[in-house]
Structure 1
Amino acid sequence: MATTTGAEAPELAGRPLLGSLLDLKNDSLGTFLRAQREHGDVVRITAGPPGMRATVYGVFSAAGAQQVLAGESANFRKDNAFYQEIRESFGNGLLTSQDEDYLRQRRLVQPLFTKRHVDGYAAAIAAEVTALTAEWDEDGAFTVDVLQQMARLALRAVARILFGTDVDAAVEVVERCFPEVGAYVLRRGYSPLKTPRDWPTPGNRRAAAVHQALYEVCDRIIADRRESGRAPGDGQDLLTLLAEAESAEDGSFSATELREQVLVFLVAGHETTATSLGFALHLLGLHPEVRKRAHEEVDRVLAGRTPGAADLDSLPYVTQVLKEAMRLFPAAPAIGRRAVAATEIDGVTVPAGADVIVVPWVTHRHPAYWEDPERFDPDRFTPEAEAARPRYAWFPFGGGPRACIGQHFSMLESVVALAMLLQKYEFEAVDTEVPVAPAITLQAAGPARCRLRPRTA
C-alpha cells in the first residue's frame, strides 16, 4: 500500500443507524452539494447499516476531477457497484469495459467517430427534427414537455444513425425498456444487500423480461444485417460500420460484442443529448433575453436554411446556450471510480480500495469557478471566459482516456436541433422548476412543459 501524508477526509454527518443512506437514496445530488458546502472538496460519506456500511469519497474540485479522470486515471477503475450493475444489464461495451478489452474496443470504434465521419450524420439529424416538428400542432400556440419530446427526438436520431431504416421497432422497445432497466440498476446500486439476479423475485423477473426484449431487438437487427449480403461499403449506418470494423491486431466484433456496443450507444447516445437539448429549451423558455439573442444569431447565420455541420462554428451563442445548460444539468451528474492504491487528492488521503465519486453536478456549481452558480448565463462560455477557468471546472463528457467518444456527435446533434427549433418557434416555460434525480443518466422527476408559438417571418 502506498504511503500518503494527507489529512484524513472530513465525514458528512449521517444518521446513527444508516449513515447517509437515505439522504443518498432520496437526494444524492443535494447530499453531495451539502457535503462540499459544509466540508470542502474531498468528503467521506458513509451509508448503510453496521456490518454492511459502504464508504464513498466525494471529490468536488476541478483539480480533483482532473486527477481522478486524467492525471491518475490508471489508479481509478470502473470497479464500483454501479458499474457492475450497468455491466450486467448492458454488457461489456465501451461504457463499462476495462484494460485490454476497452483498448481493443476503442481502437475498433474510434475511426467511426472522427469529426469528418460524424459530420456526415447532420442530414439524418435534421431529417428527424423536421419529422418531429411536422407532428406538432402548429395552428397557434401549443404546449409540449420539452424533455419528453427531446428524448424521443434524440432516440430516433441515434437509432436512425445506428440502424438505418430499422428505426421504429428499436425505438418502441427502447422507450419501453430503458426506464425500467435504469430504475433496476439504481435500486441494486444503492442496496446494501442484493439478491442474486437469477432469483425469481418480482423485480428480477421484470428486469429479465425487459433485458430480453432489448437483446432480442438488437440481435434481430444485427442478424438481418449480416444475412443481407450487403457488399462492404454500401451502407453508412453505424451498425454496418461496426460490423465491418476489423484490424489485424484486434480482429472484429462478435455478435454479442456488437449487441453490447449497440446498447451502450443507444443509452449513452440518446439520453445525454436529450438532457442537454431539453433543458436548453426549458431554460430558454425561462429567459427571454437569452432566447432573443439566440433567435437573432440563428436568423442571421442561417437565413431560413437548414443547418449543417459546417455551421457549428458560425453559431457560437447557440453553442454557449447548450454548454450552460450542460453545466447546470449535466447528463452524467456523478462519475464513480475505485482507487487501486492509496493516494492524495487536494491534500486528503484516499485509501486503497476506496470508492470515489467525482460530481460534475457539484463542480459545475463550485463557487471557486462560477459566480452566482445557479444563474443561467451563456456568456460564461465565451472563449475568453473558458480560457480563464480550470480545464475540469466543466466536464459534462467526463475526461481523460475514458472521455465520451461521442461528444462531437452529441454537440453536432444538439446545435443542429436547437438551431432548427429556434428557427420555427418561440418558447415560453410553463413549469418554472423541474425536479431531477440521477439514474444511469440525469432524469427529470417532473414535467418540463413549454408553450410554443410558431414564429412569423
Structure 2
Amino acid sequence: MTSTQSPGARAAGPRPWPLLGNLPAFARDPLAFFESLRDDYGDWVPWALGPQRNVLVSRPEHAGELLGAVEGTFKPTELGWAFRQLLGEGVVVATGDDWRRKRALVQPAVRPRQVRSYAATMVECADALAGTWCEGERVDVHREMAALTQRIAVRTLFGSDAAGREGPISAAMATAQRELGAEFRGLTLFLPPWVRTPGRRRMRRAVAVLDREIAYVIREHEAASNAGAERDDLLSRLLAARDEHGGPLSRKELRDESITLYIGGHETTSTTLTWAWQLLSGAPEARARLTDELDRVLGGRLPTYDDYVRLRWTRQVVKEALRIYPPIWLISAVAGQGASLGGRPVPEGTAVWTSPWSMHRDPRWFPDPESFRPERWDEDAPHAVPEHAWFPFGGGPRACLGARFALVEAALVLAVLAQRFHLDSGTERAGVFPGLTLQPKTRVLATLAAP
C-alpha cells in the first residue's frame, strides 16, 4: 500500500552499501526500485547512488515545484558520459545563458503553427505504411512503428531528399540508446571520461555514424540554401534561426539540436504508439470506442491537423498510453544554494529525483493505476487528476520542446492506421527496458485484422 506520509517529515531510506550506495538495487530494476521507495518509505526518501546524495519526491506538487525551479535554485543533473556523447551541448543538456539562447533559437521551429505544416507528412507516411499491410499478416509492431516514425522524422527534420539515410541513423541510434541505458544503470556512470569500456567504444562508433550522416545532410541544406532553394523542414528553420545578436547556430549546435529533435520525433513516438497498440489489443471496449470516433469524425477520409482537436478519444488513448509508459521515466535536478521544496530546505549538492513512471502508477492520483482506462481523461471523469501528476514530457521551463509534435504525430498516425486495421497482439503486455526512453523488452507481435 502506498504511504501517505507527510512529505515534510523525515523518512528512513533504504540501507546503502559501502561505496555503491543503492546502486545494486537501482541497476537491477530502476522502475521497481522507485516504486518501492515510494511505497516503503513515503513521499520524501533519501537514497544513495554511489557517493551521491539523493532524494526521491513522489507528490505532484513537489514534482511541479522541482521542475519549475530548474534554472533557478536547482540545476540540471549531469547524466553521464554516454548521455553527453549523444546529445552534445544541445538544449536538453545546456544550462544558464547557453540554454536560454538555444531554447530561443529552437522553440520557434516546433510551435503549433509549424507542427501544423508537418501534419500532412505524418498522415502521408502513415497511409503509405497502411498500404503495405494485408489483413491476416503478422507484424512486429515496434519495428513497424519505429520505421514509420523514423521516416516521418527524417522528412520533417531533414527534408524528403534525406530519404535513404534512415537505415544508418536508426541503427546507430538504437546502439546509442542501448549503451546509454546500460551506462546509466551501472558502475560506468561513475568512471572518468578517459576510461574506455567495450560499451563506451560501441557508443563512440554509433555517435561517429550519427555525426557523419547529419553532417552530410547539413552540408546539403547549406548548399541548397546558397543556391536560393526554399525548404520547409526543421533543419532549414534551424539554419535560418538567429539569436538576439544576429548569430546563427554553429555546425556543432546544428548537429546537437538535430539529434535532440530526432529523438523527440522518432524515439518517443514510436514507443508510445507501440504501447498504445498493445494496450488497445487488451481493451476491446476502448478499441471499439476508437473505431466509432474515427467513423464519426473522419467518415473514411484521412485526418488533417484540424481533426486533432476533434479526435478527443484518440488523444485520450495516447495520453493514457503515455501515463502507463511515459517516455521520460526519470527526472532529476541538483539543489543549489538556498534550494527548498515544500518549504523544506534541500542541502546544496543534493540530487532531487522524481519519476513519471512511479507518479503515473500511484493509486492516490490514478485509481487502479495498472489498468488502461482512457476514460479517466474524460472531462467529467469522477477522479480529477492533480496538477503535475501526469508529466511524460517533463515540465517547467525545461519541458520537452517536441512534446506538441509527438502528441500530434501519435494521434494522427493512430487515426490513419486504426481506420484500416486492428493490431491484435493479445492481452499480455511486454516487459519494459528503461533506456533513453521506455522500450519493449521483447518483440511485440500482432496480427492485422479488420477494425
What is the TM-score normalised by the length of structure 2?
0.92
| Counterpart contact for 2:281–2:427, Cα < 8 Å | no
Tell me the residue number matched to 1:326: 322
RMSD over aligned Cα, in angstroms? 2.3
Q: Secondary structure at the match of 1:249?
A: coil
| Counterpart contact for 1:126–1:306, Cα < 8 Å | yes
Q: 1:165 aligns with which of 157, 160, 165?
A: 160
Residue 349 of structure 1 and its aligned partner are, at CA, apart by 4.9
Q: Structure 1 residues 324, 23: CA separation in 2 closer, same or farther (over 3 Å shift)?
A: same
Structure 2 counterparts to residues 145-224 of structure 1, below 5 A: 145-192=140-187, 194-224=190-220
Residue 389 of structure 1 and its aligned partner are, at CA, apart by 2.5
Residue 345 in 1 paired to residue 347 in 2?
Answer: no
Tell me the residue number matched to 1:89: 86
Q: 2 CA distance for matches of 1:34 and 1:108?
A: 41
Residue 384 of structure 1 and its aligned partner are, at CA, apart by 3.6
Residue 66 in 1 paired to residue 61 in 2?
Answer: no
Q: Which moved more, 1:337-346 or 1:157-166?
A: 337-346
| Counterpart contact for 2:393–2:399, Cα < 8 Å | yes
Residue identity matched to 2:182: R
Structure 2 counterparts to residues 1-400 of structure 1, below 5 A: 7-13=9-15, 18-48=20-50, 53-71=51-69, 74-82=72-80, 85-136=82-133, 138=134, 140-192=135-187, 194-230=190-226, 234-249=230-245, 251-341=247-337, 343-346=339-342, 349-385=345-381, 388-400=384-396
Residue 257 of structure 1 and its aligned partner are, at CA, apart by 0.8
Q: 2 CA distance for matches of 1:279 and 1:227?
A: 40
Q: 2 CA distance for matches of 1:101 and 1:71?
A: 17
CA shift digits 1:32-69 (9 cap, x unpaired): 00110111111112244xxxx33321121101110100
Residue identity matched to 2:58: F
Q: 2 CA distance for matches of 1:132 and 1:37?
A: 43
Q: Structure 1 residues 400, 232: CA separation in 2 closer, same or farther (over 3 Å shift)?
A: farther
Q: Secondary structure at the match of 1:338?
A: strand
Q: Structure 1 residues 18, 102: CA separation in 2 closer, same or farther (over 3 Å shift)?
A: closer
| Counterpart contact for 2:278–2:429, Cα < 8 Å | no
CA shift digits 1:215-258 (9 cap, x unpaired): 00000110121122456671101111111112443511111110
Tell me the residue number matched to 1:415: 411
Q: 1 CA distance for matches of 2:121 and 2:34?
A: 39
For structure 2, the residue ranges without an aligned partner over 5 or more in a row are: 1-6
| Counterpart contact for 1:41–1:346, Cα < 8 Å | no
Residue 157 of structure 1 and its aligned partner are, at CA, apart by 0.7
Residue identity matched to 2:429: E
Residue identity matched to 2:97: E
For structure 1, the residue ranges without an aligned partner over 5 or more in a row are: none
Q: Structure 1 residues 387, 66: CA separation in 2 closer, same or farther (over 3 Å shift)?
A: farther
Q: 2 CA distance for matches of 1:319 and 1:226?
A: 37
| Counterpart contact for 1:331–1:441, Cα < 8 Å | yes
Residue identity matched to 1:150: M
Residue 356 of structure 1 and its aligned partner are, at CA, apart by 1.6
Q: 1 CA distance for matches of 2:422 and 2:185?
A: 41
Residue identity matched to 2:59: S
Q: 1 CA distance for matches of 2:95 and 2:392?
A: 21
Q: Which moved more, 1:176-185 or 1:62-71?
A: 176-185
| Counterpart contact for 1:115–1:408, Cα < 8 Å | yes
Q: Structure 1 residues 188, 342: CA separation in 2 closer, same or farther (over 3 Å shift)?
A: farther
**Aligned residues: percent identity?**
33
What is the TM-score normalised by the length of structure 1?
0.91
Residue identity matched to 2:242: E
| Counterpart contact for 1:197–1:204, Cα < 8 Å | no
Q: Structure 1 residues 357, 394: CA separation in 2 closer, same or farther (over 3 Å shift)?
A: same
Structure 2 counterparts to residues 430-441 of structure 1, below 5 A: 430=426, 432-441=428-437
